[in-house]
Structure 1
Amino acid sequence: MPRFKHYNYDQDSMVVINYQEQLQPGTFEHAVHYLIEHKLDLSVFHPKYRNDDTGRTAYDPAILLKIILFAYSKGITSSREMQWCCETNILFKALSCDTVPHFTTLAKFVSSHSDEIEALFEQVLLVCHEEGLLGNELFAIDGCKMSSNAAKEWSGTFKELGERREKLRRLIRHHLKAHYERDEAETEAELDRDIRRAKTILSLDQAAKKVDRFLKTSSPRMGQGKRRKEVKSNITDNESAKMTTSKGTTQGYNGVAAVDKKHQIIIDAQAFGEGQEHHTLQPVLESVEARFKKLGIADNIYQQGTIVTADTGFANEASMKYLHERQINGYVPDNRFRSRDPKFQNQKAKYGKRRQVSFTIEHKRQPNYTDWMKHRVDSPKGKEIYSHRMSVVEPVFGNIGTNKGLNRFSLRSKKKVQSQWQLYCLVHNIEKLANYGRMAA
C-alpha cells in the first residue's frame, strides 16, 4: 500500500505577507498603484468630502480607485463582488491595504464623481504623452453600442406610452370587475386565486402610475437633425436610446472612443444616448482639440496635419461640411464606399437574388460636401489611409469588450454611464503604460 505525506485541514497557520511585494513591476496592479501614488493628483476628489472637523473618516479616493480600476481590468463591475474580492483576494488586499470598503461606498464613488473621473482620464493621458506613447499621426474614431440599466420595454413615443397607460388601466378594470363579481372565497384554492389577482392588480396599478407620472413630468424627446422628429423616450432612463446592433435591438448607450495610432491610446471617451452616430463626430473632435490644448500637447492638433478617420456611421452632410470648413484632414466614407471599389465588384450579394428597379433623374445635382469626401476616400491615398482605421480602433474595443468583459453598462443616466465608460478606457490606457511606458520599479 502506498504511503503519502500527512495533511490536516483542521489547523491554524500564520503567513507573513508584505503587500508591496505582491505588486510586481510590469503588472497592471503595479502600474495602477504606481500611477496613483506617484503620478496623479487626486485632490480633485477632495471638495466633495465634508468631514474635516466632524463626521466619520472616509476611505481615501486612492484606495477606492485602485480597487475599482483593478476590478474593471478583471471584468468585475459588481460592487458587491469587489467587496468580496477585498475580503478574499490577495491582490485586492494588497491594493486596498487590507481594507474592505462596503459595496455601497464603491458604487457611490463611481456614480457620483463623473467630473473627477474625467479629470483623472486627462491626467493619465498626459502621462501617456510624457512617456512618448502618443504619435498624433492618425486618430481613429468608432463606437460600441451596449445595453444599459434600462429596459427597452419601457420605451415609446408619448403617443405609444399614452396608449400603454390606457391599456394598463383597462386591465386593472377587468381584474377588479372579475374580483367584485365573485362570491366570497370558500376554499383555500379560491383564496389563493384571489390573492394572486390582488397582486396582479397592484402590479398593474404601479406600472400605470409610473407611465402616468413620466408623461406628466417629461417632454417628448426630439431627435437630431433638421427635421427634429420625436424619438422614443424611455421611462427608466430617458437619456438612453433604442439602438440597433448586430445582436438585435437594445436599450442603452453608444460608447465612442477616439484612438491614437501609435500605441492605441484612447484620447477621448464619451457615451451618447442616441442610435445614430453621425452627429457625434463634431463633439468628439472638439473634445480632443480642447483637451490637447488644455494639457499643453498641441494648441490646435488638426493644423499639424493629423489624420482623422471614422467609419461610415459617422458620415453625413453636416459632418463632412464641418471637416471641410475646419480644414481637418479627415477620411470618413459613406455607406456606398465599398460598392465603388473595384476590389469588391465580384463579391456575391449577401442576401441572394433581388429584383432591382432603376430610374433616371433628369436634373443635375450640385456637388456637396459628401461628394468632396467621396473623392478623398476613393483616391488611392484615401484607401491606403482608411485601411489603417480598423487595425487602430478595433483591437481597443476587442480588449475592452472581450478581455475586460464589458458587454453592458450597469448604470443609468448619460453622466454616470460616461463615467463607467471612461473608467474602462482608463484601464486600457494604464495597461498600455504598463506594457510600453517607463514605469518605475
Structure 2
Amino acid sequence: MSNLTTTNNYYTMQLTLPLEDMEEKAVSKRNLAPTFKPYDNKQMHMILDLEALIPVHHVARVIDDMIEAIPDEQLFAHYRGGGRSSYHPKMMLKVILYGYSQKVYSCRSIEKLLQENIPAMWLAAMQQPDFRTLNDFRGVRMKAFMDELFETMIRKLIADNYITMEQYFLDGTKIEANANKYSFVWKKSTLRFEEKLKEKIRETLRHIQAITHQEADEHGEGEPEELPVKLEEAAAILEEKVEGLTEQIAEEKSVDQRKEMRKKRSALKKPLKLIRKDFLPQLVKYEAQKACFGDRNSYSKTDPDATFMRMKEDHMKNGQLKPGYNVQMATENQFILFYSLHQRPTDTRCFIPHMEKLAASSLPMPKTVIADAGYGSEENYLYAIGEEKEPRFDVLMPYGSYMKEKTKRYKKDIKHAANWTYEELEDRLICPNGRYVRFKKYLTKKSRSGLEQSFKIYECEDCSDCPLKPACTKAKGNRQVHWNPVWEELKAKAKKALEDDKKSAIYAQRKVEVESVFGHIKGNRSFRRFSLRGLEKVHVEFGIVALAHNLLKVAGIRLATFLQKQTYKKVGRKTLRFFRPTFLFKGLIGQPLCHFIHDVAEHHLPGSKPTSS
C-alpha cells in the first residue's frame, strides 16, 4: 500500500509499513542521528534571474504590465531634456505604485523597500533612487500628468473588459489632511475681529484729527475699503510733524521747551506706530484670510487648502472637526472609475463639479449614475436632465426625505401638505380640518448655490379657531404652504425610478460597490491621512492610491484565475493539488548538484517563468 505525495513540481512514493512492523520499529533501541537539510547562510548565492522569483499573479507583474502599456512619448513629453540623466519615469511610477500597494506611503519607507524587497528590486531593475528623488517625482513631476495617467489606465481596464463605465456608483468620503488639527482659522471669527479692528482704526483717526488739528471731513471715517488709504494719509501727516518737531528740538536751547516738544512728539509717535506696526499689517492679514476662505467657513494654517470637517472616528459616529478633503469617487465592479477632491464638507454641492470634470476628461460618460440621498437636490436632478431636456445620464438618486415619506408616521402627519387633498381645477388645497388653502402668489428664491427656485404660495382662509392648528403649524397667522412644482416633479421621477424592480436592484448594489472600496482603502490599506499638502498634491496622492487599488484588483482576479486552472485529485481521504510542471533554475555556488536539484523542487514558486540552463 502506498500514498502519493507531492512537493510543488516533483513526486515521491512513500511506502506504508504494516502495523506489526510499526510496532517493532517503535520498540527499536537503535539511536538514530537527526538529519537536516543543508544550511549555510555564509555561503555565496547567485540569483540568475530576479524575475523568476515572482509569481505570475503577483501585483508587481500587474504593475509592470500596466505601466509598460503606456506609450513612452506620453511620459517623456513632461521632461525638458538636457542636464544630468533622470531616472526613467516608468521605473519611478512602478516603484511608487508598488509601495502604495504594500501600504507603504512614505518615500523614506519606499527607499528602504528598494533595498530589501525582491519585487521592488525587480521593478526598479536594482536601481535605488533616494527618498528626495521619489518625493520630488511624486509631489512635483506627477502633478503634470496624473490625470492623463489615470485616464490611460482606466481605458486599459475598459479594453481588457474589467469595466464598462455604464454604471457609475458615486459616493464621497473625508480623508484627513496632513495638517495640525488645532491650527484652524474660522471665517466668522475673522470677520468679527476685522470689524473690531476697523472700529479701533476709526477711533484712532479721530484722535489723530484732534492732535493734528485737521478738519473732520479731511480724515473722516470713510468706507471700509478706504481705511488703508486713510491710514496711509494719516501716517504721512504724522511723520511730517514728527520730523518737524525733531528739527525744532535740535535747534531749541531751552530745556523746558525741549521737554514740551518731546511730549508732543511722543503723542504723535504713538498712533504712528499703531498704524505702521499694527493696523496696516492686520488689515493685510485679514484680506489674505478672506481670499483664502473663498466660499468656505474655515481652513488650516498648516495646509490652507484643507477645510475643517467632522470626521467619523468610530462606528458610533463620534468624531471631531479635523482638517481634511472630501474625496468624490465612483466605482464599477469595485474598480475606481474616476475621482475628484473638494474642499466642501457636504456631498450635495460636489456632484456637479465632479461630473463636469468627468465630462472634460477623455473617459466615456456613464449611462446611469447611482448615488445616495446626500446628492438628491433640485440642482443635481436638473443637471442630469440637461438644458435641452435630453438627459445627460440616468440617475438612481433618492432625495433627502425619500425614506421618511415611506413611513406610516409621515403619511399620518397633518402638517405635511403632501398628505392633503389637492383640487387641480380650483388650484387649491383642502386642509385636514376641511378648510380651503387657496393660491396667493408666486415667489422666487435663490438657493445657496445660486439656483433660482420658483414657489407657489398657498394660504389658508382662516386658522384662528382651528383645533388642529397646534399640530399643523407654529405660525401666528394663517398656515402657508410653499409649493415648488419643479422640485415635486423631480421627486416624483426619482421615486418612480427607485421603485422599479430592475433599477432598485441596481441601487441596492451601491453599498456593496463604493462602500466596500472605501472600507478597503481606509480599513484594509490603512490610508486615512494624506502625506502631502495642498489640493494639487493631494489630488496626485489619491490618484496613486486609486491606481494601486485597481492594480490590486487585477492581481486578485489573476490569482483567482490561476487557482481555477489548478488540478485537484482525491487520493484516499486527502485531496492533493497538482501544479503545472514549470521549473525554476537557481544556481548555488559550491553546492552539490543533487542539492541544487532538490532546491529547485523545494523553492519553486507556482507560475514563475521557466529559464533555460
TM-score, structure 2 length as denominator? 0.54
Q: CA deviation at 1:400?
A: 1.9
Q: 1:427 to 1:8 in 2, by over 3 A?
A: closer
Q: Which residue of 2 aligns with 1:330?
A: 395
Give 5+ residue unaligned stretches, structure 1: 166-209, 225-229, 346-356
1:21-420 equivalence runs, <5 A: 21-37=52-68, 39-52=69-82, 55-112=83-140, 113-158=142-187, 160=189, 215=286, 217-222=288-293, 231-247=297-313, 248=319, 249-260=321-332, 263-291=333-361, 294=362, 298=364, 301=365, 306-325=367-386, 327=391, 328-342=393-407, 359-360=472-473, 361-369=479-487, 372-373=490-491, 375-377=493-495, 379-381=498-500, 383-420=504-541
CA deviations over 1:43-90 (Å, ceiling 9, x no partner): 3333443443xx322111111111110111111110000001111111
Which structure carries more helix by proportion?
Answer: 1
Are 1:434 and 2:434 matched, yes or no? no
Aligned partner letter, 1:62: K
Q: CA deviation at 1:358?
A: 5.1
Are 1:20 and 2:20 matched, yes or no? no
How many residue pairs match? The answer is 367
User: Does structure 1 retain, via aligned residues, the 8 Å contact 2:373–2:400?
Assistant: yes
User: Does structure 1 retain, via aligned residues, the 8 Å contact 2:62–2:555?
Assistant: yes
Q: 1:223 to 1:50 in 2, by over 3 A?
A: closer
User: Does structure 2 retain, via aligned residues, the 8 Å contact 1:338–1:344?
Assistant: no
Which structure carries more strand by proportion?
Answer: 2
Q: 1:64 to 1:370 in 2, by over 3 A?
A: farther
Percent pairwise identity: 22
CA deviations over 1:140-199 (Å, ceiling 9, x no partner): 10112010111232222356358899xxxxxxxxxxxxxxxxxxxxxxxxxxxxxxxxxx
Aligned partner letter, 1:420: E
Between the aligned partners of 2:74 and 2:326, the Cα distance in structure 1 is 27
Q: CA deviation at 1:215?
A: 4.0
CA deviations over 1:6-54 (Å, ceiling 9, x no partner): 99878352232512223322221101011222x11243333443443xx
Aligned partner letter, 2:542: W
CA deviations over 1:370-392 (Å, ceiling 9, x no partner): 65135423652154442221122
Q: 1:363 to 1:402 in 2, by over 3 A?
A: closer
The structure showing larger relative contact order (alpha-carbon pairs under 8 Å, at least 6 residues apart) is 1
Deviates more, 1:119-128 or 1:385-394: 385-394
Q: 1:369 to 1:324 in 2, by over 3 A?
A: farther
Aligned partner letter, 2:84: R
Between the aligned partners of 1:276 and 1:211, the Cα distance in structure 2 is 32
Q: 1:308 to 1:8 in 2, by over 3 A?
A: closer
Between the aligned partners of 2:161 and 2:182, the Cα distance in structure 1 is 48
Give 5+ residue unaligned stretches, structure 2: 1-30, 195-280, 314-318, 411-469, 474-478, 563-606
SS of the residue corresponding to residue 509 of structure 2 reads helix
User: Does structure 2 retain, via aligned residues, the 8 Å contact 1:377–1:386?
Assistant: no
Q: 1:19 to 1:422 in 2, by over 3 A?
A: same
Between the aligned partners of 1:435 and 1:20, the Cα distance in structure 2 is 19
Q: 1:10 to 1:423 in 2, by over 3 A?
A: closer
Q: CA deviation at 1:402?
A: 2.3
Q: 1:77 to 1:129 in 2, by over 3 A?
A: same
TM-score, structure 1 length as denominator? 0.74
Q: CA deviation at 1:312?
A: 2.2
CA deviations over 1:313-357 (Å, ceiling 9, x no partner): 223332122123362311222332322335999xxxxxxxxxxx8
Between the aligned partners of 1:392 and 1:436, the Cα distance in structure 2 is 16
Q: CA deviation at 1:100?
A: 1.2
- CA RMSD across the alignment: 3.4
Q: Which residue of 2 aligns with 1:185?
A: none
SS of the residue corresponding to residue 113 of structure 2 reads helix
Between the aligned partners of 1:344 and 1:20, the Cα distance in structure 2 is 66
Q: CA deviation at 1:96?
A: 0.9
User: Does structure 2 retain, via aligned residues, the 8 Å contact 1:258–1:284?
Assistant: no
Q: CA deviation at 1:404?
A: 2.2
User: Does structure 2 retain, via aligned residues, the 8 Å contact 1:158–1:220?
Assistant: no
Q: 1:76 to 1:214 in 2, by over 3 A?
A: farther
Q: CA deviation at 1:410?
A: 1.1
User: Does structure 2 retain, via aligned residues, the 8 Å contact 1:257–1:266?
Assistant: yes
